[in-house]
Amino acid sequence: MLTDPSPGRSLDAIRQRGPLVHNITNLVAMDLAANALLAIGASPVMAHAQEEVEDFVSLAGALAINIGTFTPEWQDAAVSAAVQALGNETPWILDPVGCGATRFRMDNAMRLLKIRPSLVRGNASEIAALANNALGTGKGVEATMSVADVEAEASRLASETGLVVAVTGEEDFVTDGQRALRVAGGHTLMTRVTAVGCALTAITAAFMAVEEDVLAATGHALACMAVAGETAGKAADAPGSFRVELLNALYRMHPGELDERAAIQWLEADA
């Protein structure tokens, strides 16, 4: 655990230690998530076979589970991985992609939620759906609600479960039910490139691998992506180039620059 946590210190720790991050993620996000992890200095591994997920969890510094294109076999493997992470006290993050769209996704998300992820990260529609175990929010995998709309529900979900909950969007909101923070920044083109949210989940797992305070680690990761998005938005005005510049920005980011530009606002007590 970092004694004086800051986003830059966390990023520096990732660069120094290169934590192995085990991803069970969707088929659309594999490429960007792996490249985002490499860009910040982490070591990604993508593995979903039931036969090896527990082994990889035991090697990894953190686990990211994204239910985006799950089949029952992938879900079962994810459950095994999550149970192993819980047993090993390895931090793990749940990304409930599109859980408000179908009963299958909601059931998968709820089953994983019971295995006590360190963090749940979703867009406003996904967190609203999860907090209420209710379908009909969002459009497919995209949000139709704002972060502000679901802050109360996110706080309730965090309080009831004891988990950290992150709602990401124009301004992110993260809470453990007692403490909370907001992260500003980012760029509108982040919503016009597929899998940016999934890559953010992967990056957050890397931050969790080096910073024990899950709330702080999440704030650091969200700030890192927000700053990278702003940098990319200055270099690119269309999504093809923006995706390239986002990876460039993650790679080039200096810890000092991240500390300077991070717009993290703690709402209750400082960590």
**Residue 34 is a binding residue for its own copies (CB under 8 A):** yes
**β 172-175/164-168 pair status:** antiparallel
Q: Does 76 bind its own copies (CB under 8 A)?
A: no
- Residues 154, 157, 159, CA angle at the centre, nearest 5°? 110
Answer yes or no: are the C-beta atoms of 99 and 132 closer than 8 Å. Answer: no
Give the position of tokens 């700030």: 223
Contact range with its own copies by CB under 8 A, out of 65-73, 118-126, 199-207, 209-217: 65-73
Rounded distance, CA 43 to CA 21, Å?
A: 6
**3-state SS assignment for residue 161:** helix
The stretch near its own copies (CB under 8 A) out of 29-37, 113-121, 162-170, 203-211 is 29-37
Stretch that binds its own copies, among 1-9, 153-161, 235-243, 257-265 (CB under 8 A): 235-243
Structure tokens at 60: 């990894």
The distance of closest approach from Cβ of residue 88 to its own copies in the complex, given in angstroms and rounded to an integer, is 15
Per-residue contact flags (x/-) with its own copies for residues 131 to 170, judged by CB under 8 A: --------xxxx----------------------------
Closest to its own copies by CB, 87 or 140 = 140
Among 73, 212, 260, 268, binds its own copies (CB under 8 A): 73
- Any residues with CB less than 8 A from the CB of 125 and at least 6 apart, and which? 100, 137, 138, 139, 142, 143, 144, 145
**Pairwise CA distance, residues 129 & 133, whole Å:** 6
Nearer to its own copies, 218 or 231 (CB): 231
How far is 8 from 223, CA to CA, in rounded Å? 10
Site for its own copies (CB under 8 A): which residue of 2, 38, 83, 184? Answer: 38
HSE at residue 123, side-chain half, CA atoms within 13 A, is: 24
Contact flag: residue 252 with its own copies (CB under 8 A): yes
Which residues make up the interface to its own copies (CB under 8 A)? 18, 20, 22, 26-28, 30-32, 34-35, 38-39, 43-52, 55-56, 59-60, 68-73, 98, 101-105, 139-142, 191-195, 238-241, 243-249, 251-252
